[in-house]
Amino acid sequence: MQRGGAVGEFVEAGAARDLPEGKMRAVNIKGRAILLARVGNQYYAADDRCPHFGARLSEGRLEGVMLTCPRHGSQFDLRDGRVLKWTDFPGPVAAAGKIFKRPRPLTLYPVKRDGDRLLVQL
């Protein structure tokens, strides 16, 4: 899900050469924890906190455009932020997690590349 609100400015988030294909990392931009990921020649930016219980997504797994939370296994599509899977707990624990924390999409931010600079719109 693209972030809502007014259109913000593009802010430098780092060098493209520092983000190899198929990798992700956390950056701090204006006091906000942002996850940067590269899949092929496409760059993605999202909140670095899982909307489920706040785990650092940059410590999770990236498989193509699918991002998996390291804490509960929730999965998100980096192209549009949609939830692919909400937690991987079995039985009653999963049911409780779904009652108290309904699936919420990942907040994404537009990214553009300017030479070797990656710019994120906040």
pLDDT digits (tens, 9 = 90+) for 47-62: 999 988 789 999 999 9
State the number of CA atoms in the 13 A half-sphere of 29 facing the CB: 24
Q: Is 115 left (phi over 0), alpha (psi -120 to 50) or beta?
A: left
Q: Please report the domains of the chain, with CATH numbers, ordered by start residue.
A: 10-121 (2.102.10.10)
Distance CA 111, CA 12 (A): 10
Which amino acid appears at position 46 of this protein?
A: A
Instruction: Pull the structure tokens for residue 5.
Output: 């609100």
Q: What element of type H or E holds 62?
A: strand 61-63
**Strand, helix or coil at 67?**
strand
b (16+ CB within 10 A) / e for 89-104: eeeeeeeebeeebebe
pTM, full prediction: 0.85
Identify the pLDDT of residue 21. 98
Average pLDDT (31-55) is 95
Least confident window among 11-20, 27-36, 41-50, 85-94? 85-94
Q: What is the DSSP string of 7-49?
A: ---EEEEEEGGGS-TT-EEEEEETTEEEEEEEETTEEEEEESB
